[in-house]
A and B are shown apart, each in its own frame.
Chain A
Amino acid sequence: MNTKEKLENAYIDYVLSNNEQPKSVYIFTKSLKLKEDDFYTHYNSFEAIEKRIWQQLFTQTMDIIKSQETYAGYNAREKALSFFYSFVEVLKSRRSFIIYSLKHTERSISTPAVLQNVKEEFSKFSLEIINEGMDNNELSDRKYISDRYKDALWLQFSFILNFWIHDDSPDFEKTDEAIEKGINVTFDLMSRSPIDNLIEYGKFLVKNSKFKPDFIFK
């Protein structure tokens, strides 16, 4: 085990046992019989360790789904589903840490600090599948709105993560349901729907405003 991993494991062990961060990098490295130097070669703060763990979980998930034979044949919706199912499976191995990490990270209305990197990578992944979906007409390309599609997926990410943390059903079965239903709704909204037709109809009526929206009979 190299120093980087050693630091990581020791850190996880410490926070889960003490439910707080080590008092200082000095005390932490001392207990591992390492120099402070060794720590800063790899990480600039404790937070950086947490960020890396999250990032690893994400990378691991991507590796798993991309190695599946069926993945290449999936459409955008199925790729997203596949991502989330694998993600919650991967998370299982680190559940205690995840609960700790999200509880202790700085609460703000925006993304928790520890998830910063994951958000970037997830957005890349989202854009990839959204573009693919728009290319094959699975998703509807809407002015202004389609730029926000990836945010909708991030919203699902945060919702599903939160749902999973609070899920007490056996084998996290309810999370599966939340994923299946939630992702489907999100993709349904991004697909061509009555709303598109409604908007187009509205546009048409505005353009032809000499026909007042009045009814001869009702």
Chain B
Amino acid sequence: MKEQNSIPVSKVERSAKFVTTGAKVGINYLKHYSKKMVNPNHSREELNKENAEDIYNALSKLKGSALKIAQMLSMDKNILPKVYSDKFSLAQYSAPPLSGPLIVRTFSKHFGKTPDQIYDTFNINSKHAASIGQVHQATKNGKKLAVKIQYPGVGDSISSDLRLVKPFAFRLLNMSEAELQVYMGEVEEKLLEETDYILEVQRSIHFSTVCKDLKNTIFPTYYPELSSKRIITMDWLEGIHLKDFLKKKPSQELRNKIGQALWDFYNFQQHELRAVHADPHPGNFLITPDDQLGIIDFGCIKEIPDDFYYPFFTCLFSNIFDDRHKTIEYFRKLGLILKSDTPKQVEFYYKNYKAMISLFAQPYQQAEFDFSKPAFFDELFAWSEEVTTNPKLKQARGAKHFLYFNRTNFGLYYILHDLQAQVKTDTFRPHRLNE
């Protein structure tokens, strides 16, 4: 066995990364004060900018929950970090693989039996890492199974990673503790939910049942009796990830088919279930040998409450945008414009969020949308560029639901762009309030 024979480099590097960031920030302060001595006009803003860049660079090199948090926070202001798909496919809790004895221990703790006693065969070497655990292959009664085992202490590490990121986030986003707490709380809640495997199995079974009529989409069977707080047993889905699928140069027709399955899967959940698989990370999808979309991992589910859903989709699909007053009224409901805003700020956010939401709505405007069109994504990029450089837009704003909502939808757009798919976007129409 090969695992853990070396120093867990990633761990060491990970803490080192924070150390260097700390040091760099310190140096920036030094530079600031020395520059100030020479040139009293060296502004604090310049310092903040230097800090922010260093912090952001350090965070974007991190893996694990710290990375997720950084991205979640940036998602709102940053709509699409450019390297979205690559980074997200790398994002995983960085831990060395579990030792054989700990795997045996985890099983005997939860089932009173060793893996060999539970399954007909069990491969002690993990096949691949899931975001907060590792996946093993097993067989039972002639069925090939995937067994996901969670790293111990992940929950704790999430909370401590969050605490680690917090001071950086304050400086980076220039927000008050109370403002930031709303978003941090949302992220922490979701991340902690992901560590509850019993909940994940329940949700997986629920979602795969209600989504079973969707075309070209398949779900593995889950085995609650072989699952526990730290272990999930499900069918092993054969298939390849999107990246490898695209390498095989699939036909336009096939890409459309997969893209359509994805679109339907998300929009069915969004508009019919009001709860959505909020982790559109390419690793959570498989293309099976018979060209179906396999969906695994229901760890992260975002429920969309009515008081968010209706205002948002109503202003998207009525002609409210023609009416400035009404639009502002809706933006207030969504927390995009605050009571404390000055008229100038109101105007600013009105203009910008209107532009952003209109952009979001584009795929819905026609019955069919071509996600390979570069124009749409160029516009998205330009927008995200604008958001990152404009300090007024940098601050996270709006209802906390935007975090996962944006992540899900823009994540979906991005995958469809990768697929270069043409998709019928009117399969599940949004509901809205009658005006």
Task: Report the tally of A-B residue pairs with Cβ distances under 8 A.
Answer: 58
Within the complex, which residue of B6, B100, B106, B153 is in contact with A70, where a contact is CB–CB below 8 Å? B100
Please tell me if the beta carbons of A85 and B116 are within 8 angstroms of each other in the complex.
no
Contact residue among A85, A138, A193 (Cβ-Cβ distance under 8 Å from B105): A85
The reply to whether A75 and B1 form a contact with Cβ atoms under 8 Å apart is yes
User: Which residues of chain B have C-beta atoms less than 8 A from A81's C-beta?
Assistant: 99-102
Is there an interface contact between B114 and A85, defined as CB atoms closer than 8 Å?
no
Whether the Cβ atoms of B1 and A78 lie closer than 8 Å is yes
Please give, as numbers and ranges, the residues of chain B lying within 8 Å of A193 by CB-CB distance.
7
Q: Mark B227-260, 1 if CB is under 8 A from A, else 0.
A: 0000000000000000000000000000000000
Residues 88-114 of chain A, each 1 if its beta carbon lies under 8 Å from chain B, else 0 = 010000000000000000000000000
Give the contact stretch, choosing among A28-36, A51-59, A169-177, A208-216: A169-177
Chain B residues within an 8 Å CB radius of A75 = 1
Q: How far is the CB of A99 from chain B (nearest CB, A)?
A: 21
Known contacts being A81-B99, A176-B152, is A70 close to B104, with CB within 8 Å? Answer: yes
- Inter-chain CA distance A191–B108, complex, in Å, is 29
Q: How far is the CA of A70 from the CA of B116 in the complex (A)?
A: 10
Q: Is A74 an interface residue (CB 8 A)?
A: yes
Evaluate contact between A184 and B4: CB separation under 8 angstroms: yes
> Out of A74, A184, A188, A191, which one reaches B100, CB within 8 Å?
A74
Q: Say whether B7 contacts A188, CB under 8 Å.
A: yes
CB distance from A84 to the nearest CB of B (A): 8
Report the minimal beta-carbon distance from B96 to chain A, rounded to whole angstroms.
Answer: 7
How many angstroms between the C-alpha atoms of A74 and B101 in the bound complex?
9
Q: Which residues of A contact B98 (CB under 8 A)?
A: 180
Which listed residue, B8, B104, B108, touches A184 by the CB 8 Å rule? B8
A218 CA to B99 CA, complexed, in Å: 43
Interface size (B, Cβ < 8 Å)? 23
Contacts of A176 in B (CB 8 A): 102, 105-106, 152
Q: A68-B114, A138-B5, A184-B4 are in contact. Are A85 and B100 (CB under 8 A)?
A: no
Query: Quick check: B152 and A78 within 8 Å, CB to CB?
Result: no
A179 to B114, CA, bound (A): 19
Chain A: which residue is nearest B102 at the CB level? A180
Contact B5–A191 (Cβ < 8 Å)? yes
Contacts of A191 in B (CB 8 A): 5-6
A11 to B427, CA, bound (A): 75
Cβ contact of A174, chosen from B100, B108, B153, cutoff 8 A: B153
Does A82 lie at the interface of the complex (its beta carbon under 8 Å from any beta carbon of B)?
yes
Q: Contacting B96 at CB < 8 Å: which of A68, A177, A179, A184?
A: A184
Asked if A78 and B101 sit within 8 Å, CB to CB, the answer is yes
Q: How far is the CA of A69 from the CA of B117 in the complex (A)?
A: 11
* Beta-carbon contact of B153 and A177 below 8 Å: yes
Q: Determine whether the beta carbon of B101 is less than 8 Å from that of A82.
A: yes
When chains A and B are docked, how far (Å) is the Cα of A173 from the Cα of B106?
10
Question: In this assembly, does A77 line the interface, its C-beta being within 8 Å of a C-beta of chain B?
Answer: yes
Hey, which bits of chain B sit against chain A, CB under 8 A? 1, 4-8, 96, 98-102, 104-106, 108-109, 114, 116, 124, 152-153, 156
6 CB contacts below 8 A, A to B, read: A70-B100, A75-B1, A78-B99, A138-B5, A171-B109, A180-B152
User: A77-B5, A81-B100, A173-B152 provided; 15 other pairs, C-beta below 8 A?
Assistant: A68-B114, A70-B114, A74-B100, A75-B1, A77-B4, A81-B102, A82-B101, A85-B101, A85-B105, A171-B109, A173-B153, A176-B102, A176-B106, A179-B102, A180-B98
